[in-house]
Structure 1
Amino acid sequence: MTLLSDPLDLPCGVRLPNRIAKAALSEALGDARNSPDDRIVALYRRWAQGGYGLLVTGNIMVDRRHLGERGNIVVEDDRDLAALTAWTKAAHDGGAAILAQLNHPGRQSNLFALGHEPVAPSPVPLALPGAATPRELTPAEVDDVVERFARAAQVCEEAGFDGVQLHAAHGYLVTQFLSPLTNLRTDEWGGTPERRMRFLLEVVRRVRGRVSPGFAVAVKLNSADFQRGGFSEEDSRAVVAALAAEAVDLIEVSGGSYETPAMSGSTAPSTRAREAYFLDYARSVRREAGDVPIAVTGGFRTPAAMEDAVSSGDCDVVGLARPTVLATDAAARVLDGRTDALATREIRVGLRRVLGRVADLKALDAAVNLGWSTEQLHRLARGLEPDLDRGALAIVVGMVRRNGRVALRRKRGLL
């Protein structure tokens, strides 16, 4: 019977010391040039001492012109190689493996950046107030984005990362290519399920061709986007089967997007009570995944549920995200038997009866909770502890303050 404490050897040879991962959280700790600095090193040094077998970074963007949010770290070339190396050393000094999560926001670029023209497979805007209509990428521009992922992966290997995780979930650019709601193309990049998944497969192939055989290439994939007519579980299973035929080392299962944020804990109480939101789906794609290990993130809170998920074979790795904000040593607490349940901070916006008439309250709650997590990561990076008294209004003000400087800045030199 597999235990949480058992090591896991990925197909490429990278060994995870145990089956608990610190899943990606968007740290937004890049400096004014979107480069990593001492803050990200300090934060990951804390997590590295927390007993995790794997640390997955938050969004590392592959293009400075297109950010998910202000403060994203960007890897386009080797200009920040020394800082990236310090980052990986902090993880390795604690005994954890570390994957760099590579991403492009596509139409989910920073909503505060008014005047910025996002890009996407097709000109379909987000169903959120203030979202700009994206410009459709040309075939040459699509290939340029694929190349950016490959170049970023190459630099990450030079910096000492154990691998990369390609972000194909949560409504970002790769997901936009996969979804029939956001990919309306009729060329070689869209029109059929096979052509819609081509972008992801080309990124995987280009990355694998640039890195060594011992460097891990992982994918974070939505089980579904939970939108009518969108990317379904059937579509997702087909993508898993296609990925299993490539040189992929780990598939992390998640779900949702900015419009339907299932990944943020914006779920019904009955779903939260079941803990692992996407475990049923992971169980259903075991055959399609073949020998590729599966990680599941979202909802795990008790050691009993984590142990059962791994020992039953439903998944190979348990991912923890928001619990690692309140307890940077969450993995050690679970493995050492020092907790019966991990805590998270759940915030609900006020004036619900009024706001509910003009906005999706689940989406608002999810945004505020993500904003709270980001603020706490900044505190942790400064050596402080989380502020449990921070309320929803203060969080919204903080989000505007952090992103406001780009609100009226028009981005030039688009893809």
Structure 2
Amino acid sequence: MSEYILALNSGSSSLKFALYDFAGEVVQRKGEGAIERIGQSVGRFWWRGDRRLDRTAAFPDLSSALKALLDLFQELGLEQLSAIGHRVVSGGPELREHCAIDEHVLQTLRASLRFAPLHLPAEIAVMEAVSQHWSKTPQFACFDTAFHRSIPELAARYPLPRNLWQEGVRKYGFHGLSYEYILTQIPTPGRTIIAHLGNGASLAAVQDGNCVDTSMGLSPTGGIVMGTRCGDLDPGVLLYLLEEKGYSANQLERILNHLSGLLGLSGLSGDMQVLLAARENDPHAAFAIDAFAYSVRKMIGCYLAVLGGADRLVFTGGIGEHAPLLRELICTPLGALGFVLDNAANQTGQRRISRSESPVEILCIPTDEDRMIAEHSYQLLRQR
């Protein structure tokens, strides 16, 4: 008997989704889609499955977007969902395991907004809207932070007063669902460095399947250079902006999360595709690209030290999977450390992009966070 699981990945103005059919040991992806530009005058709704849909319409809020999705599933005869799984970036210090969503979980998430202010408000809003349209369907929260529970205290703890650690100020890590999926594609993880590179980007050091360190910390703002997020900063920069420039907390948040990273460095865009297209004629775009590659290389060097070497490096995420130039800029200077790129394989997007004699295997593997959301939700459903 088939059990349909809907995986939801929500943003501030978009809702991505994928539908999976669980029939015993066989799992089939029935389709995927997105509702984009929610709250704007003209939105877009697309679906790719046995039937394809791509249309424009106004979606004033999340409730109207979910109603459109429900209508589609009714047309397809798929409205009887067994469960709905949500990607949740962070549950703060209290929620670090995938779980069923109830009022207590919602209250805890509302109290944890500071741990992921860019993501949690929209994620909570979707959970609440889903309960209106699928009131009898169980919902499950799948946390990006769950994968990183294995990080030892030595790596997770900041050198701050002890009471802050006890209050939950620590490294949580993110992109955990992506890292989980990548490990399902590697038979023997050994010492693996995974680079999830997209608009939001992070790296993880994995030892025998367990995360031992990761670049993002308390929130998804830290770590390497990202599309519009700054990554790691000297805390003195923040004190300077507060004391000398008179910035408020809201102004700081806007700078750190929305105006920095590739956008801040280039003055053009936080979108890597735009920067790559402008690279030849715009020195600021070229500089931003080089800065991104440099920050990734530095983190790889850190994790070589953490792991005592590496058996493989895996690229994933939108940039990691689709930008061969970035992979080249990252790996070529690391040749003396055992990362020997096969330029032809890299340009054509092969799974293995290192030369046969390379001491470190370099792979490019598409991620599938939706699959992990669906699988965790299915397992939690079976445990009820």
TM-score (norm. length: structure 1): 0.29
Greater RCO (Cα-Cα under 8 Å, separation 6 or more):
1
Structure whose residues are more often strand by fraction: 2
TM-score (norm. length: structure 2): 0.31
- Computing the radius of gyration from Cα coordinates, the structure with the larger value is 2
